[in-house]
Amino acid sequence: MSVSTPPVFKFDNSYANGLEGMSVPWNPAKVPAPRLLRLNRALAQELGLDPDALASEAGLAVLSGNVVPEGAQPVAQAYAGHQFGGFSPQLGDGRALLLGEVIDTQGRRRDIAFKGSGRTPFSRGGDGKAAVGPVLREYLISEAMHALGIPTTRTLAAVATGEAVYRERPLPGALLTRVAASHIRVGTFQFFAARQDTDRLRRLADHVIARHDPSLAEHEDRYLELLRAVCERQAVLLARWMGVGFIHGVMNTDNMTVSGETIDYGPCAFMEAFDPDTVFSSIDAHGRYAYGKQPGIAQWNLTRLAEALLPLIDTDEDRAAERAMAVLKTFPDRFSHHWLAGMRGKLGLPATGDVDADRDLVNDFLALMQRHAVDFTLGFRRLSGVLRGQPEPLQALFGAEAEGLAAWLTRWQARLGEAPAAEVAQRMDSVNPIYIPRNHLVEHALEAATESDNLAPFEALLGVITRPYEERANDALFAQPASAEQSAGYRTFCGT
């Protein structure tokens, strides 16, 4: 029996205390038989928490929601949102709670929140619960994203609750502890804008500025500048998603943060064979959130944020709209800039040079991958082999008949010029992952945990995808795309 020291959180709750009327105090539901599935010890340490205390009985009591730790002020946050284009004026934390905020060891303010902690006043018809599968999926993908260097919410812990949750059938229940720079979404602004509550809207904006853009606090046009800052963060984020083949799957405005972190790992998945029309989510019948549509959707969402901010931007409505529009119009160029920077890195190109020529070079490679249904991750990763005098793995991906590949490689190498090949190859390998959370492996891990309480595949996969860049002979199976049979008709579900 482990020594049971309760974990000590040094909470400093600016949201619950500073923003009256933006959340509802609420307690997590009690659960019958909590069991720790996984604790993220490194993240615990980063947060200034004692991992052993979190792993103890007293820690488990906290991570399961059975005991509210000292200093926590759990609240359900209010938000609205456009879901698949349609506006819901009230969504809110229906199965989540913000426990409180801590200042981490690097001085950053981080939210600590539960997902799956039971019903709240925002639950509508839902049960407020989560199942083991979706909780472990969020753990895997969020930690893989972090390891890939992509801004994201993190996962501190996954706990099995010992009770069943009822979806199409009974499933083992679980609870996730999520860590975020904040949980403030485009939809949080929409909530107050929809109610014409300009006073709370302004206080929310000031809170966000203090938290994410403190340099704007004294700016004369701080709300317009806040919009610009969120546009820039989302442009960076979307470029990063596109660079690893990530498909969020449910880019509703309530699932887009103002911090620029990826949030809400529901039906997300990584693309394998390159095709911009790829969609995995079972509820995205019209491909609204397909891989290639994501940057446009981000801009659409930011337009909804701009609309919400209008009353703060200028007292004159027309002028406010004009100024907001001018900022929104910068989004495509911001995105393109970051996209090209990322793609240049992936191809080992210098950061400067002829933009149009480099853009063509990238797009021609993508077109080749699409034509030959090449795995997005491996297509980029195997390019460095060419520079090491080992072109065969790349050629094998494209197939013997691959028309156009040789000509493209010649153009690419001409662009690389005299750059030392070994160094370029090494740089490429440091930005082109070899391991991503492959859909069939994720499904296998979740199934083993759900059906047989076997966490070994989850642990193995987590270990591999959190070290994505360094190729290991022993992990060769993890780098392989799904078989045609496995990927045919692959669908993801929200798990709600």
Nearer to ligand AMP, 15 or 380 (CB): 15
Q: Annotated catalytic, 50?
A: no
Q: Nearest distance from residue 251's CB to ligand AMP, in Å?
A: 10
Distances (CA, A) of 397 to 362, 373, 394: 18, 9, 5
In whole angstroms, the minimum distance from the beta carbon of 419 to ligand AMP comes to: 45
Site string for Mg ion, 236-255 (x = CB under 5 A): -------------------x
Q: 95 or 211, CB closer to Mg ion?
A: 95
Taking the least distance from each CB to Mg ion, the nearer of 232 and 264 is 264
> Rule CB under 6 A: is residue 284 a binding residue for ligand AMP?
no
496 binds, among Mg ion, ligand AMP, none (CB under 5 to 8 A by kind): ligand AMP
Contact status, residue 113 vs residue 99, Cβ threshold 8 Å: yes
For the bound state, the minimum distance from the C-beta of residue 280 to Mg ion, rounded and expressed in Å, comes to 17
CB 6 within 8 A of CB 59: yes
Angle at 369 between CA 364 and CA 370, to 5 degrees: 95
Nearer to Mg ion, 256 or 312 (CB): 256
Q: Which of 254, 264, 375, 429 is catalytic?
A: 254
Burial of residue 218 (number of CB atoms within 10 Å: 0-12, 13-18, 19+): exposed
Nearer to ligand AMP, 255 or 262 (CB): 255
Q: How far is CA 371 from CA 275, 292, 319, 361, in A?
A: 9, 16, 47, 15
Neighbours of 127 (CB within 10 A): 17
| Among 123, 336, 395, 466, contact with ligand AMP (rule: CB under 6 A) | 123
Of Mg ion, ligand AMP, none, which one sits near residue 151, judging by CB under 5 to 8 A according to partner kind? none
Whichever of 123 and 450 has its CB closer to ligand AMP, that residue is: 123
Is 94 a binder of ligand AMP (CB under 6 A)? Answer: yes
Find the binder of ligand AMP among 7, 100, 128, 342 (CB under 6 A): 128
Burial 48-85 (b: 16+ CB within 10 A, else e): ebbbebbbbebbbbbbbbbbbbeebbbbbbbbbbbbee
126: contact with ligand AMP by CB under 6 A? yes
Q: Choosing among ligand AMP, Mg ion, none, which partner's interface includes residue 111 (Cβ < 5 to 8 Å by kind)?
A: none
Stretch that binds ligand AMP, among 89-97, 174-182, 374-382, 461-469 (CB under 6 A): 89-97
91 binds, among Mg ion, ligand AMP, none (CB under 5 to 8 A by kind): ligand AMP
Residue 141 dihedral angles phi and psi, to the nearest 5°: -75, -40
| Strand 246-247 relative to strand 154-166, pairing | unpaired
Which 264-283 residues touch ligand AMP, going by CB under 6 A? 264, 266
How many residues sit in the footprint of Mg ion (CB under 5 A)?
2
> Which residues are the active-site residues?
254
Residues lying near ligand AMP in the complex (CB under 6 A) are found at: 91-95, 122-123, 126-129, 250, 254-255, 264, 266, 494, 496
Residues lying near Mg ion in the complex (CB under 5 A) are found at: 255, 264
